[in-house]
Structure 1
Amino acid sequence: MEQPNISYIQSMSGGDVAFEKKIIAIIKEEFPLERAEYTNNFKSKKFGLAAQNVHKLKHKISILGLKKSYDIAVAFEYNLLDGNSELNEDFESILDTISHYLNQL
């Protein structure tokens, strides 16, 4: 599985380390809250709301350089809108990978 990285953040920063740290801090703060909200909505079978959560989370997936995972998130978002939860295991695996990575930063 692909691994998260901060290459995109570094490319946006132009070498401004303070900017990089600020973006990383925001992601570290928001990600667990967004994940929890997604989990609650998914478990409650509120797939429309879960799709909105996936939409928010997929931007963090992209920022962390996870191109294949982003594609899975896009497909999962559309699946949820159709009431299909088929890609949940894959999506949860992506979230686990990101959580582990953020805990290491």
Structure 2
Amino acid sequence: MDDIELQPPSVVSEKDTGLVLDIAAVGLHNPLGLAGEPTYAYVRCTDDTTYRLPAPLQEWATSMIAVNHVHRAAGHQSLFPGQIEFGILNGGMYAELL
């Protein structure tokens, strides 16, 4: 998978907006990889562009995948497609479902 590395912008305050993408799916590349094989989280946009998520967003992605599965198992529609905002605020990277 030749994904583009996501580069979230720095924002000055919570009132500013980071990078907003229309996301079709959040997933894990090679989730059961053997030793030495790369495993990483990614987002696939509605235009089929795929971005590899930086390490600080790996846990967020795993949680988002789990939440979406629980949501769908309860009979609700998928959370995706949907918009997600990515950014860096006060030195910490964030992703927020809008």
TM-score for both structures, normalised by structure 1: 0.30
Larger relative contact order, structure 1 or 2 (CA cutoff 8 Å, min sep 6) = 2
Choose between structure 1 and 2: higher helix proportion. 1
TM-score for both structures, normalised by structure 2: 0.32
Choose between structure 1 and 2: higher strand proportion. 2
